[in-house]
Structure formats: structure tokens, C-alpha cells
């Protein structure tokens, strides 16, 4: 006799939209198949199987692990959501009448497990190449059965020996099903969900520019001159990881400078460096302070992970020892510019862009616009025999052991001519602007899917079919996310970028107004 259970999710992926949010929830749906088949024996004929389904539990579990030579092994359980699918009273399952068939009798029990909306996406990071660690999610199922009839005393010892399922109860487990969790950014409301779009621009005003100045010689630029320099950097709110470049605008103005100082101050060039900073940390304390991870009693080593990385066992038995100079966190910075070079943009002319002798108010901005290219595949970092191999452009985000952020480092080269032929002072003004790289949801494909709440592959009891009828075929529509239509307080979002149509009175309304005026005149004449 063979009893097997297997999980068939409707989709092997979960697409979450927007930033992680504790108040949001998603779900993973599908069905669990329970199959019965009577096995043949050399000593007796096939017997019908009669079992009582006592419990059927589906579990969605997530875990995140990190393995690096500097930090060693770290693991954490992200979530564990279980749902009981069996009815309160034991349900009998039997293949009576089909015990001689080579095809199993199967029951499909549907499930719909809620998933918290703050979970990090599935990702791979760390050092091991053959089995890389990272963040992953699985679906597992466990069923508990009991015999419908207790073993009879008339059974021979040979029958008992050839029937290994003759126990009061037994629990079986399914194979784990990998579930890929994706997190996509919500595109602007003015564009369809499935099409790529350009995000609005954000302006960053640099106010503490004096403190970021770097003196390059013994004669620095006077502080009162640099303090009057205004800088505004403009970058997109988000940048898609599938793009190849991003727009950038730099505006400079020195309206409060005197004509004499403005004529002496010049800008020779400005440089841009686009960086990706990957931070690995051995503890999840910072992440747990922000998101509701399971408590300590549900974390390893108190409760081991369901499927830990093979390196974990080596550290546990002492075959791998942490280095004495163990780091709790490490950072790896990579350039996203082609060729890993800093892009320099020289200015035309002498660079005296602040000379407003002909401009009485000096309120005009000097604007520089360009497109910053970036690459998707980064060069390998030669550390510890190939550590950090195959690095790539990643979306901006964080998980318990892995944080990715992006910065645009901007350097403005300034020079100031001293009075009466004094020495030329030069300073580099450096500041950084955060960049948010996101993944946009690809064009969805809507396919019809059929779901059976509880069905059998062979003819079963009619009462069972009435209790759990078959569901009708349906198609899962591609609906926009709640955050795309409503604010967090429940107010509906209004896209003010689309103008309202101009009012044009219709012909019917004109005729009705004329007839109404005519009736009023008739009433006046009657009076």
C-alpha cells in the first residue's frame, strides 16, 4: 500500500507591489493531492485501502541565510504560516473497488494561505557557488492518517509483515515546493501597470556644501564665498534595473555673491560616480527592530531551519571555524559606470558662470543636463578565491543579512582667483545623492486555471461529491495594487496630471433651456 501527498500551487511565484508594508497581506493558493494505490504482493492479492484523514497541514515558511569567509554562517526564520485543511471530524479515504487498478485514487484539497506583505524578496547572496545562500521560501504539507478498521486478529503474521501501514496512526510529508517571492515597484498612476514608465524627478538641495569642501592647496577658497553657492541636483524618484541610463540635472547659482567675488569664482568641471554598496551583516537585530520576525524560541538553534544550508552543519560540528578577526558586517562598493571610470564633464569657456555683472538680480541658474549610463553586470571581485563572483546590478532594498543601497557621488571642481593677482585657490565640493533602483513588473500573462475543491479520479461515494462540489474554471485578472488606487488612510488617489475635458453644452440641453424660457414667458403672459 502506498500513500503519497504532493503540493500543486496555482503559481510558483508571489508578486508583491510597492515597499514592504506590515499592514498588507498576500496569499498563495493551490491544492494538496492525496493519492492511494494498493501494491501487489507475492503472497496475497491486493487489498482495498481504508484510511481516516485526521490532519492535513500546509505550511509556508521563509528563511534567510548568509555565508561569507569574514562573517561565517548566519541563519534566521522569516515566517512560518500553517493552515489546517482537514475537517474537524476524521474523513475516510478509500480506494475500494479500484484496488486492482495501477492508477492511484487521488483527492485534491484546496488551500489559500495568507502571506505577510513585509517579507523580503527571494534573492541569492553570499559566498558558496555550488549552493549559494540567500532568502528563499517553501511550501510543505504533512498528513496524519489512521486505519478505518483496527487490524483483525485473523490477519496472519505474514499479512502483518507485508502490510507496513498496519499502525494506529502514521504521518507522511510532502516534498518541499519552492515559491519565488518577487517585489516590484508601483509605476506612476498615469501609466499602465504592465508598461515601463519614467518616474518623476526629485530635487536635492545641497545646504551644507561648505562642510564638504576639500582644500587642495594652502590657499583655500574663503568660506563666505562658498557658503553663498547654491546647488540643486535632480534625479529620478526611481530607476528601473532594466534601463541603461538615467537623466541627471545639476543647477548652480550664487545670487548673494557680490559682482567682484562672482567674477573671481569659476567652475572648471564636475565629476559623477555611480556606486552600488552591498552590506553583509551577521546579525538580524536591525531588521528585527523594523519587521516582526518570529521570536527567539522559533529561531535557530532553538528551532532549526527546515532546510538549512549544508555549511551550517560543518560550523556546528566544528569542521569549519570562524576566523579570529571575525567581522560582524562587511561592505563591498562597486562602480556602475561603464569601465569603472568616473565620468567627468568639463565646462565650456572660462567657467565664470556666476559672473552676473550684466544681470542685476543674479537669480539665473546655470543648468547642466546629461544622461548617466550604467551597466548591469559588474566585474568580479577577487577576494578569498573568487568571493563575490558574478556580481550584478541589484534593486535597492534590505533583508535580515543583506542591504543594497545606491549613491551618486558628485564632485564640483571650484577655483577662486585672489585679489590683486593673489594665488589661485581650488577646492573640490563633494556630496552624494541617494538613487533608488527598482524592478518593474513585466507584462502579465493571464492563463485560465481550473481548481477542484475536492475531487476523485475514480467514481467515489455520491455523498462525498455533494459535500465538496467541483469549482468552475476561472481566470485570475491582473488587478492594480491597493496602494496604486488608494492612500494608506483609505482616500482614493486622483491623478491630477490628466486634465479634465472642457465643458461643452449639448444640443439637447440648449433646446431644453429654450423651451423652459418659453414656458416661463407664457406663464408671465397668462398672469
Query: How, if at all, do strands 239-240 and 437-438 pair?
Result: parallel
Indicate the SS3 state at residue 235. Answer: strand
Mean pLDDT of 141-152: 77
CA dihedral 385, 387, 390, 395 (to 10 degrees): -170
pLDDT at 402 over 60: yes
pLDDT at 249 over 80: yes
Angstrom distance (rounded) from CA 293 to CA 489:
25
Per-residue pLDDT, 157: 47
Angstrom distance (rounded) from CA 497 to CA 499:
6
For Cα atoms 341, 347, 351, give the angle at the middle one, nearest 5 degrees.
Answer: 135
Handedness of CA 387, 390, 392, 397 (dihedral sign): negative
pLDDT band at residue 474 using 50, 70 and 90 as cut-offs: very low
The secondary structure of 182-199 as a DSSP string is EEEBPPPTTS-TTS--PP
Per-residue pLDDT, 294: 95
Per-residue pLDDT, 458: 39
Buried b (16+ CB within 10 A) or exposed e, 253-263: bbbebeeebbe
Residue with the bigger pLDDT between 509 and 29: it is 29
pLDDT at 385 over 80: no
The conformation of residue 130, written as its DSSP 8-state character, comes to: S
Mean pLDDT of 155-167: 48
Please give the share of the chain, as a percent, with pLDDT higher than 70. Answer: 71
Mean pLDDT of 64-69: 89
- pLDDT tens-digit map of 321-369: 766 556 688 888 999 999 866 778 887 767 788 876 665 556 788 888 8
For Cα atoms 214, 371, 201, give the angle at the middle one, nearest 5 degrees.
Answer: 85
Per-residue pLDDT, 482: 63
Based on C-alpha coordinates, what's the Rg of the chain? 34
For Cα atoms 243, 447, 492, give the angle at the middle one, nearest 5 degrees.
Answer: 65
pLDDT at 527 over 70: no
Q: Contact, 441 vs 15, CB < 8 A?
A: yes
Q: Smallest Cα–Cα separation from 418: which of 254, 265, 268?
A: 265
CATH class of 201-282+326-438: mainly beta
Residue with the bigger pLDDT between 55 and 69: it is 55
pLDDT band at residue 506 using 50, 70 and 90 as cut-offs: confident
Domains 2-186+444-485 and 201-282+326-438 fall in the same CATH topology: yes
pLDDT band at residue 513 using 50, 70 and 90 as cut-offs: low
Residue with the bigger pLDDT between 149 and 220: it is 220
Per-residue pLDDT, 394: 95
Per-residue pLDDT, 391: 82
358 forms beta bridges with: none
2-186+444-485: what fold? Immunoglobulin-like (2.60.40)
pLDDT band at residue 407 using 50, 70 and 90 as cut-offs: very high
pLDDT at 425 over 80: yes
Per-residue pLDDT, 183: 95
Sequence-distant (≥ 6) Cβ neighbours of residue 421 within 8 angstroms: none
Residue with the bigger pLDDT between 447 and 94: it is 94
Angstrom distance (rounded) from CA 368 to CA 429:
16
Give this prediction's pTM.
0.76
Please give the share of the chain, as a percent, with pLDDT higher than 90. Answer: 35
Burial class (CB in 10 A: 0-12, 13-18, 19+), 493: exposed
Query: How far is the CA of 354 from the CAs of 215, 233, 364, 413, in angstroms?
Result: 21, 17, 9, 14
Mean pLDDT of 62-91: 91
Sequence-distant (≥ 6) Cβ neighbours of residue 7 within 8 angstroms: 30, 32, 33, 58, 139, 140, 141, 174, 175, 177
Burial class (CB in 10 A: 0-12, 13-18, 19+), 236: middle
Cα 173 to chain centroid, rounded: 30
Per-residue pLDDT, 379: 72
Per-residue pLDDT, 447: 46
| Domain ranges, ordered by start, for the chain | 2-186+444-485, 201-282+326-438
Q: In the predicted model, what is the mean pLDDT of the chain? A: 78
pLDDT at 211 over 60: no
Mean pLDDT of 36-60: 81
The conformation of residue 154, written as its DSSP 8-state character, comes to: T
Mean pLDDT of 27-32: 94
Handedness of CA 41, 43, 49, 51 (dihedral sign): negative
Q: Where are the alpha helices (DSSP H) in 394-444?
A: none
Per-residue pLDDT, 390: 63
Mean pLDDT of 460-484: 44
Q: Which range (48-52, 153-157, 409-413, 496-500) has the least confidence?
A: 153-157
pLDDT at 286 over 50: yes
Mean pLDDT of 263-285: 90
pLDDT at 198 over 50: yes
Amino acid at each position: 500500500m502506498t500513500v503519497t501527498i504532493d503540493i500543486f500551487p496555482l503559481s510558483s511565484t508571489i508578486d508583491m507591489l510597492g515597499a514592504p508594508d506590515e499592514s498588507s497581506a498576500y496569499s498563495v493558493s493551490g491544492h494538496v493531492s492525496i493519492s492511494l494505490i494498493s501494491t501487489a504482493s507475492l503472497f496475497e492479492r491486493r487489498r482495498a485501502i481504508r484510511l481516516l484523514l485526521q490532519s492535513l497541514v500546509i505550511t509556508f515558511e521563509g528563511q534567510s541565510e548568509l555565508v561569507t569567509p569574514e562573517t561565517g554562517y548566519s541563519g534566521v526564520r522569516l515566517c512560518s504560516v500553517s493552515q489546517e485543511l482537514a475537517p474537524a471530524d476524521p474523513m475516510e479515504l478509500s480506494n475500494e473497488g479500484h484496488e486492482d487498478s495501477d492508477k492511484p485514487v487521488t483527492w485534491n484539497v484546496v488551500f489559500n494561505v495568507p502571506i505577510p506583505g513585509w517579507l523580503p524578496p527571494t534573492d541569492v547572496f553570499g559566498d558558496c557557488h555550488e549552493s549559494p545562500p540567500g532568502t528563499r521560501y517553501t511550501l510543505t504539507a504533512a498528513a496524519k492518517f489512521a486505519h478505518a478498521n483496527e487490524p483483525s486478529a485473523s490477519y496472519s503474521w505474514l499479512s502483518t509483515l507485508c502490510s507496513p501501514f498496519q499502525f494506529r496512526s502514521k504521518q507522511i510529508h510532502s516534498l518541499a515546493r519552492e515559491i519565488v517571492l518577487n517585489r516590484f515597484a508601483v509605476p506612476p498612476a498615469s501609466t499602465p501597470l504592465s508598461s515601463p514608465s519614467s518616474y518623476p524627478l526629485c530635487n536635492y538641495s545641497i545646504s551644507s556644501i561648505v562642510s564638504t569642501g576639500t582644500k587642495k592647496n594652502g590657499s583655500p577658497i574663503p568660506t563666505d564665498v562658498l557658503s553663498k553657492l547654491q546647488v540643486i541636483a535632480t534625479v529620478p524618484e526611481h530607476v528601473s534595473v532594466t534601463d541603461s541610463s538615467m537623466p541627471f540635472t545639476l543647477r548652480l547659482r550664487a545670487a548673494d555673491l557680490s559682482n567682484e567675488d562672482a567674477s573671481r569664482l569659476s567652475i572648471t568641471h564636475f565629476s559623477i560616480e555611480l556606486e552600488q554598496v552591498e552590506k553583509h551583516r551577521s546579525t538580524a537585530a536591525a531588521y528585527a527592530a523594523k519587521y516582526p520576525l518570529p521570536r527567539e524560541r522559533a529561531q535557530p538553534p532553538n528551532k532549526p531551519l527546515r532546510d538549512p544550508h549544508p555549511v551550517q552543519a560543518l560550523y556546528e560540528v566544528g569542521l569549519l571555524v570562524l576566523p579570529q578577526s571575525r567581522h560582524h558586517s562587511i561592505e563591498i562598493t562597486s562602480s556602475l559606470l561603464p569601465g569603472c571610470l568616473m565620468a567627468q564633464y568639463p565646462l565650456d569657456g572660462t567657467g565664470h558662470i556666476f559672473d552676473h555683472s550684466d544681470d542685476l538680480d543674479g537669480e539665473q541658474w546655470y543648468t547642466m543636463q546629461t544622461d548617466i549610463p550604467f551597466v548591469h553586470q559588474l566585474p568580479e571581485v577577487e577576494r578569498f578565491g573568487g568571493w563575490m563572483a558574478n556580481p550584478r546590478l541589484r534593486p535597492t532594498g534590505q533583508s535580515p543579512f543583506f542591504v543594497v543601497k545606491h549613491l551618486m557621488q558628485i564632485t564640483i571642481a571650484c577655483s577662486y582667483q585672489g585679489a590683486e593677482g593673489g594665488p589661485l585657490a581650488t577646492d573640490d565640493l563633494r556630496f552624494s545623492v541617494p538613487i533608488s533602483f527598482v524592478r518593474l513588473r513585466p507584462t502579465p500573462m493571464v492563463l485560465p486555471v481550473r481548481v477542484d475543491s475536492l475531487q476523485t479520479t475514480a467514481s467515489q461515494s455520491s455523498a462525498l461529491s455533494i459535500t465538496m462540489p467541483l469549482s468552475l474554471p476561472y481566470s485570475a485578472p491582473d488587478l492594480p495594487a491597493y496602494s496604486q488606487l488608494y492612500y494608506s488612510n483609505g482616500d482614493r488617489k486622483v491623478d491630477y496630471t490628466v486634465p479634465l475635458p472642457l465643458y461643452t453644452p449639448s444640443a439637447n440641453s440648449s433646446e431644453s433651456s429654450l423651451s423652459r424660457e418659453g414656458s416661463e414667458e407664457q406663464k408671465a403672459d397668462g398672469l
